[in-house]
């Protein structure tokens, strides 16, 4: 009878499986499980990031290759008669612009209103305003010339120098014309500033025409 009571007295002690597990060990076990879960989440996220980067790189590479193929295809094309005609038409437009500079670059209000100088037409004649302008992106036509059968290879270097000078003059003329348009609104500006930059733009147009004449001469247009 005494033994039974002793067992009953000790039975609460052995009912719990964690009764003899040190508290520090139990905490470490929970912490370890938490760390594994956290690490698994990080690994999963890391894999997702890697796959995203691979997808982006693959897409970028494919785009680059496609662009290169298109560029190479275009680089072997010859200019069409219509494209070469655009060079002549652009030259005629610049001739008219310079011959009528003040008239073309002057805008007057209706019914005899105030007149002011305007550089906007300059940009149009230089092919910088509309896709219908003869000189619009004319550098693409220039690049095709090297593929022509009847090109004078002895003058090819002279030709490319002329195209570079033309593009440079176009860019400078555009910049001066653009500044001229806002010259009157600057704090220290006025009509004098408008005219100043408009005159600088005219100088660049003349240089562009000189280069264009060289190009037309080499191409025998």
Cα(173)–Cα(119) distance, rounded to whole angstroms? 10
Closest CA relative to residue 100, chosen from 121, 115, 123: 121
Q: CB burial class (10 A; 0-12, 13-18, 19+) of residue 115?
A: exposed
pLDDT of residue 216: 96
Residue 111: other Cβ atoms inside 10 A: 5
pLDDT of residue 73: 44
Q: What residue ranges of the chain have pLDDT lower than 50?
A: 1-29, 31-36, 51-55, 57-63, 66-73
pLDDT of residue 48: 55
Cα(95)–Cα(78) distance, rounded to whole angstroms? 27
pLDDT of residue 70: 45
């Amino acid at each position: 009878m005494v033994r039974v009571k002793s067992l009953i007295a000790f039975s609460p002690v052995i009912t719990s499986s964690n009764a003899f597990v040190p508290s520090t060990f139990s905490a470490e076990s929970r912490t370890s499980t938490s760390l594994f879960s956290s690490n698994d989440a990080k690994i999963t996220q890391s894999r997702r990031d890697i796959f995203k980067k691979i997808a982006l790189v693959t897409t970028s590479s494919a785009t680059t290759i496609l662009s290169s193929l298109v560029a190479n295809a275009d680089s072997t094309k010859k200019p069409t008669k219509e494209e070469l005609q655009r060079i002549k038409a652009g030259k005629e437009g610049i001739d008219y612009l310079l011959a009528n500079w003040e008239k073309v670059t002057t805008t007057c209000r209706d019914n005899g209103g105030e007149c002011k100088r305007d550089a906007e037409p300059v940009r149009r004649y230089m092919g910088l305003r509309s896709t219908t302008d003869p000189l619009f992106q004319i550098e693409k036509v220039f690049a095709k010339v090297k593929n022509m059968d009847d090109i004078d290879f002895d003058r090819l270097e002279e030709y490319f120098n002329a195209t570079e000078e033309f593009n440079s003059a176009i860019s400078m003329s555009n910049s001066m014309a653009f500044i001229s348009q806002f010259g009157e609104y600057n704090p220290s500006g006025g009509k004098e500033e408008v005219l100043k930059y408009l005159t600088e733009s005219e100088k660049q147009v003349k240089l562009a025409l000189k280069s264009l004449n060289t190009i037309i001469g080499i191409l025998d247009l």
